[in-house]
A and B are shown apart, each in its own frame.
Chain A
Amino acid sequence: MQPHYIEFITVGFGIFLLMFEAFSSGNKSKLGLIAAAGLTLILILQCFVCTCASVPDWMSRFYHYDQVALFYKIIALVSTILVLLMAVDFRKVLSRFTSGDTSSSGLGEFFCLPVFACAGLMWMASARDLVSIFVALELVTITFYVMVAYMRKNVGSLEAGVKYLILGALSTGFLVYGIAWIYGALGTTEVTLFSNIIAKGEFNQSYLLMGIALILIALGFKVGAAPMQLWIPDVYQGAPTPITAYLSVASKAAGFLVMMVVLGPFLAMSATNSEVVLALSVMAGATLLYGNLAALQQENFKRLLAYSSIAHAGFLLMGVASRDFSAVSFYLGTYLLMTFAAFFVLALVRNQDDSDLIDAFDGLGKRNPLLAAVLTITMAALAGIPLTAGFWGKFFIFAAAINAGQSWWLLAIAFVSVAAGFYYYLKVVKAMYWNAPTTEKAIEVPVITKSVLALLTLAILLFGIWPQPIMDLLK
């Protein structure tokens, strides 16, 4: 089967779901399960498409299929499936803020939209032309505008939606403008041809740098890199929790993939290398400092995760600047596991105690020891403590940075950031075990959340000891 059929199937499946939603009545949450099941089938199908499969000529300029693309498609599919499952368990909060009661009549589209976003993410994994990259990115972003603002009776969600919409549109503007400058400088939008043209030296250096700078700004918005990170805490806090997780993982992964694809040729060529590395390093340093220092004083767990997401973007940027793309991909893969585990627990607590604050986790060790243990492992992984998957991610990034001869100041900032991370991630652990619970009510864990959390925790530990399988995927 030709690889691009999978994206067609995904879009088709999304349209089918919309139709199904329109004509079905009653409990909409089964729609989420159907969507998750369908995507699981697509995931299985995707894994069977050989990376040697050829792309037809008329597609080949816009569509590229290899091991790395496969990896990111898997990330897209897995995170969408997890988002849908989380949304099913999160429906109580959702319906309160959509239809205003406990019925789930307003939830139908909420389970269809992620499927379209997923198609966009998968397409982005294969896009190797600025035009197709742009189209795929917009498919994802526009879907996100809707999903972020979905809880229409919640002011926070609406505010988040507006912020995301305005800044997202602005970044789109930057992106298109940057693409135009690059097209003007190099005469093509095909990323694979960039290196040749630069090598021949037939281009205007300052036009090209202008284009790169504009694209960097746009991508900085997408991945949440300083100084374009300001929207992240508010949008993350306001959006429905499953969507926050989605933004934090899938949208970030896609942003970094695009960054690596577009900047790869510029990083490789000596004509542009030093400027791009410098820009990336400065962004990485600023992002690390901002994310980690601002996270130190957060009292709200969701905001904490937002700042943590900024902090992780800093490490990833350092990996991009060091030009070790497999380290970045590995990091994103493990980041998916940890972040989703954290958000699943958060959604659960929010569902039952109606609070996102770290205080809501007080005494969780007593209320549900197993859940507390899972969150402890997750936080340890996010902090980068060895024998969890999170450590390897940081390990590869640091090894890459040292090998690439990164500036000492960036390394120093990164090391300080890791130490700061210990503090704020362990703050959650502290709340769970040290503080007395405000209520003795035991926390019920629905079966979906329970099985997903078990799987994610096992994966965090397994890959923490044996990371080779992920590396094999990236080969």
Chain B
Amino acid sequence: MLFALILIPLLAAVAILLGAPSRNTALGAAVLNIFLTAVAVSNPSAWDTGFQVLEQPNINLSLGLYDGMSVVMLILSVLVTFAAVFTGKCPEGRDKLWFSSILLIAAGAIGAFISTDIFFFYAFHEMALIPTFLMIGILGSGERKQAAWKITIYLAFGSIVLLAGLLLAVGQLDGFAFSDLQEIPAEHQNAVALLLIIGFGTLVSLFPLHSWAAPAYASAPAPVSMLHAGVLKKFGLYGLLRVGMVVAPDGMAHWLPWVCVLLLGNIIWVGLVTVNQKRLDLMLGNSSVMHMGYIFLAIAALSANGSNEIAQPAAVLLMFAHGISIALLFSLASVIERKTGTLEIAELGGLAKTAPALAFVFGLAGMASIGLPGLANFAGEVMVFFAGFADWKPAEGLGWVQWTTIIALWGVVLSAVYMLRAYRNIFQGPLVRDTKPATDLHICEKIPAYLLATTLLVVGIYPQILLQFL
């Protein structure tokens, strides 16, 4: 029955291409998916399903909520999909392309997270890349063509390296199903782990393979940035936890020092880059890249010590929280651009006077992304920092992970600097002359914004609601 979760957006996309009313069909599909997800999550294992597509090697199109990680990622996907369909104003006459692409990306993301077979896990993610490419290239803004090429080449490269790693890993195993995964012989572990770190790392925008992300998100239409930064990018992290840590734990430990250095590149270097951004969309894109570092930190903690019990829930919780908050921020940024005609931070000001609801929700999302207590990201980040010290033995001194954690903590300061400064410039102070007087959120913008904001609050106050699955 989980097939329905993929088929509904796919069929809706086809229906839209064939002439169904685009916005309503897309909304209907998104709502239906939220509903089905609620049913599926209440009884996860009952919905498993599979179909053999190849005997030799044994590959199945099998779907299931493999464990809590899949559940959380599925919830994230359907929520962001709903918001993405709602948000954003599609250019005149391009609604077929617009809505069907959103649905195709969503179908790919959902498919990747509910596949229980490595092959389809990989394939669904790739499927989502073509509509992403088209959307950025056709309907994007600014340097859209360059951004589309860049994202395509980077992600293609990442996928290929990833495929090499997966094939090398699976070659040592019996099959492609997640349940067949186990530790592979020691002599292959380092190679597999390296390929997976580079492959997945490129998809997650791990430093220094991150330079595609910010320009792509800045040029992409809002729903695409929401879906890609919020959901699709989590595929790489999910994959490292799901595959990398299982097949090559020693290999992951072997590369730990490198990963620590690189993730600090994400947090500190990209953090500094973010502070220097002058445009809101580029700032959000860079901040998204920066926050990936924290999730990598959880993965590093897990690879340093496989019995670290906090690390994985911490990573998944932060993935969820980041997904929701960045999607909300991107959608609000598009609202701001629509209302004022610019995203240059210096040209904006005093929006809170005329658009209080917008200012409030943006503030909430911004605080969440900094990691203010009471919001979902805080729960995730704190758990990540705990995970960094979970297995620390004071007698042995500080290890790689502990040092990294200590330095990474400064990233919180950096994100406070850029986010608060942006908030002050955009919403506080006098109305800047250049901008039109902005109106407040329309009801169509309120519904998705409030939904995501509420999610951030609920998970922030009561993280157990997600942690129970993990």
Chain A residues within 8 Å of B, Cβ to Cβ? 369, 373, 376, 380, 385-387, 391, 395, 398-399, 402-403, 411, 415, 418-419, 422-423, 426, 429-430, 433-434, 465-468, 471
- Quick check: A380 and B130 within 8 Å, CB to CB? yes
Interface contact B134-A433, CB-CB below 8 Å: yes
Known: A385-B127, A402-B171, A415-B161. A422 touches B137 (CB 8 A): no
B235 at the interface (CB under 8 A from A): no
Task: Give the residues in chain B near A385, CB-CB below 8 Å.
Answer: 126-127, 129-130
Q: Is the CB of A468 within 8 A of B153?
A: no
Complex alpha-carbon distance, A402 and B145, angstroms = 36
Docked complex Cα distance between A81 and B104 (Å): 35
A156 to B390, CA, bound (A): 73
Question: How far is B61's CA from A426's CA once the two chains are assembled, in angstroms?
Answer: 27
Q: Are B138 and A434 closer than 8 Å at their CB atoms?
A: yes
Tell me whether B137 and A434 are in contact (CB under 8 A). Answer: yes
B122 at the interface (CB under 8 A from A): yes
Residue of A nearest to B59 (CB): A467
Query: In the docked arrangement, what's the CA distance between A467 and B153, Å?
Result: 27
8 A Cβ contacts from B113-164 to A: 122-124, 126-127, 129-130, 133-134, 137-138, 145, 148-149, 152-153, 156-157, 160-161, 163-164
Q: Which residues of A contact B148 (CB under 8 A)?
A: 430
Residues of B within 8 A of A395 (CB): 163, 167
A466–B164 touching, CB < 8 Å: no
> Min CB distance, B129 to chain A, in Å?
8
Q: Which residues of A contact B123 (CB under 8 A)?
A: 386-387, 391
> Cβ of A399: which chain B residues have Cβ within 8 Å of it?
57, 167, 171
CA distance A465 to B63 in the complex (A): 14
A150 to B160, CA, bound (A): 42
The distance from the CB of A12 to the nearest CB of chain B, in whole angstroms, is 40
Q: Is the CB of B152 within 8 A of A422?
A: yes
Residue B465 lies at the interface, judged by CB distance under 8 Å to chain A: no
Give the residues in chain B near A403, CB-CB below 8 Å.
171
| In the complex, chain A residues whose CB is within 8 Å of the CB of B156 | 418-419, 422-423
A467 contacts B134, C-beta separation under 8 Å: no
In the complex, the answer to whether A418 meets B160 with C-beta atoms within 8 Å is yes
Tell me which residues from 193 to 227 in chain B have a Cβ below 8 Å from any Cβ of chain A: none
Report the separation of the CA atoms of residues A391 and B160 in the bound assembly, to the nearest whole angstrom: 12
Residue B36 at the A interface, CB < 8 A? no
Residues of B within 8 A of A466 (CB): 53
B55 touches A468 (CB 8 A): yes
Could you list 20 further interchain pairs (A-B, Cβ under 8 angstroms) beyond the known A385-B130, A402-B164, A411-B164? A373-B17, A385-B127, A386-B127, A395-B167, A399-B57, A399-B167, A399-B171, A415-B163, A422-B156, A423-B149, A423-B153, A426-B152, A429-B133, A429-B134, A433-B137, A434-B145, A466-B53, A467-B53, A468-B52, A471-B55
Q: In the complex the two chains form, is B137's CB within 8 Å of A430's CB?
A: yes
Q: Which residue of A lies closest to B157 (CB)?
A: A419
Which chain A residue shows the least CB distance to B145? A434
